[in-house]
Amino acid sequence: MWRRNGFSLINQIYFYHNVRCRQEMLDRDVMLLQIAATLIDSNEFLVHILNRFNLMNWAREDYEVNYYKSNDEDNMRQTVVLVEEYLQLVMTLVAERYTPGIGQVEEEDRIKKEIIQLLCIEPMPHSVLNKALPEGPNHETGMEKVIDEVADFKKSSGNAKGFFELKPEYYSHYNLFFYHYTREEQSKSEVGQRLRKKGAGEEECCPPPVPPPFTVPFTMIVNILQCDVFLHIIKTVLKRMSEPKTQSVSESQLQKVLHLIGYALHEEERYHHNSDPYFHFTRRAQKINLLSLLGRLVGHRRTTTHKDLLTWTIKKYHAVLNLSSDSAKPSQASEAVLASTSSSDTASASAEKKKRADIAAQRKARIMAKMASMQQNFIKTNETFFKVSIAFSYSIKV
């Protein structure tokens, strides 16, 4: 295909993702979007991104009936790819937390994550692994500090180089959609992990790993995983996937939606263990009958490739759902006991319930106050910019 601007765009994309440049390019952009996701309402944020990807019509339930009237296969193929990229971006924003300040991690954790993802592609010698890691201010990768913790060095016979192999306990940290992967690395790592699991007699799928928690200023990002627009998007993909004549979905879309659901379930499990009632994905998912939508895809001919991942998602959903029901059972039993006891016990239970509600409300108020403070500081820091914007808007009106 003829390219109007030659290979300049290809070169730009290459350097954007290159290991020597991405810290100041790709990583900065991801961090900027994560900051925006904390300051903007989650529904509004997802709608903005939908608009930027030109997918507002795709998100409508009657898209294929009223909006896609032509038989332009190229246009439909482009839309399918854009949806896949959109889901990839959302997944990156909610899952990539191995940046100090964004997630509750240290610099060593970030380096370990990079090494784990690289060794999930294939075992590597020291020189190749070190070259694939980003350098710090002193032109050092920091690999020597953590490599012995996550990998074993295997000596080879003869003149061949020795190589590092990932320790078995770290395979659970593997993220198929790691944002530093190229398409080739992603495909190669998936094939390798599927073969490893097949040999071990495990399910041949690569479910999302449990990410580290966000730091306090970024905790609102998880709300993306339970907001109404997010639920509508996963409902749209799952529903269209179950319809045989639908052309606007793909297996990759299904795989990414299942991963996003997995991250939401991981997050609810964490909040439950911390006795924090803020995040409750399964309860909100009942509005779209998520479990029913997933059940309709079991055994479907279009989901054969990802049947194990679908099974894992349904099992995980039931496990998290049981956590909520188990925590509710003691309260129901206590209510039955309290009904037959004295009024003083009833008053005590009510007071305890009110106390827990107050604690949750205070915690939410502290988070919202901190977010408001960050917004005010941002406005003060960029006061000149806002004055210029207001003056410009006024001049247009006049």
Q: Give me the domains of the chain, ranges plus CATH numbers.
A: 2-100+212-327 (no CATH), 107-200 (1.10.10.2670)
Bridge partners, 103 (sequence order): 100, 214
58: tokens are 């795709």
For residue 156, report the phi and psi dihedrals to the nearest 5 degrees. -105, 155
Beta strands in 87-155 (DSSP E): 151-154
What does the alpha-carbon distance between residue 182 and residue 201 come to, in Å, rounded to a whole number?
28
Angstrom distances, CA of residue 268 to CA of 17, 55, 104, 240, 274:
32, 28, 17, 26, 10
Average of per-residue pLDDT values in the chain? 86
Pairwise CA distance, residues 229 & 226, whole Å = 9
Identify the band that residue 8 occupies on the pLDDT scale cut at 50, 70 and 90: confident
- In this structure, the number of other CB atoms found within 10 A of the CB of residue 152 comes to 13
Task: Pick the more confident residue, 219 or 156.
Answer: 219
Share of the chain above pLDDT 90, in %: 62
| pLDDT recorded at residue 225 | 96
- Min mean pLDDT across 175-184, 291-300, 349-358 is at 349-358
**What's the pLDDT band for 368 if we cut at 50, 70, 90?**
confident
CB 175 within 8 A of CB 117: yes
Rounded Cα–Cα distance for residues 335 and 341 (Å): 10
In the DSSP assignment, the letter for residue 225 is G
Inter-CA distances, 328 with 214, 272, 317, Å: 27, 12, 17
Nearest to 97 by CA among 83, 110, 84, 88: 110
Q: How confident is the model at residue 179 (pLDDT cuts 50, 70, 90)?
A: very high
CB 112 within 8 A of CB 285: no
The 3 state secondary structure assigned to 254-270 is HHHHHHHHHHHHHHHHH
- Please give the pLDDT value at position 347: 54
Helix (H) or strand (E) holding 161: none
- Non-local CB neighbours of 172 within 8 Å, separated by 6+ positions: 209
Cα 198 to Cα 39, 65, 177, 206, 308: the distances in Å are 44, 42, 20, 12, 12
Per-residue confidence (pLDDT) for residue 326, from 0 to 100: 63
Nearest to 253 by CA among 74, 44, 59: 59
Mark residue 292 as left, alpha or beta (left: phi above 0; alpha: psi -120 to 50; beta: remaining): alpha
Q: State residue 103 phi and psi, 5-degree precision.
A: -105, 165
Give the separation between CA 317 and CA 52, rounded to whole angstroms: 32
- Using only the alpha carbons of the chain, give its radius of gyration: 24
Which token pair is 8?
Answer: 């300049």
Minimal CA–CA distance to 164: which of 142, 144, 187? 144
CA 59 from chain center: how many Å? Answer: 20
- Segment 307-312 mean pLDDT: 95
How far apart (Å, rounded) are the C-alpha atoms in residues 23 and 134? 8
Is the pLDDT higher at 155 or at 36? Answer: 36
Residue 311: Cβ within 10 Å count: 14
Q: Please state the rounded mean pLDDT for residues 368-392.
A: 68
* Token pair listed for 315: 């099992």
pLDDT at residue 327 greater than cutoff 80: no
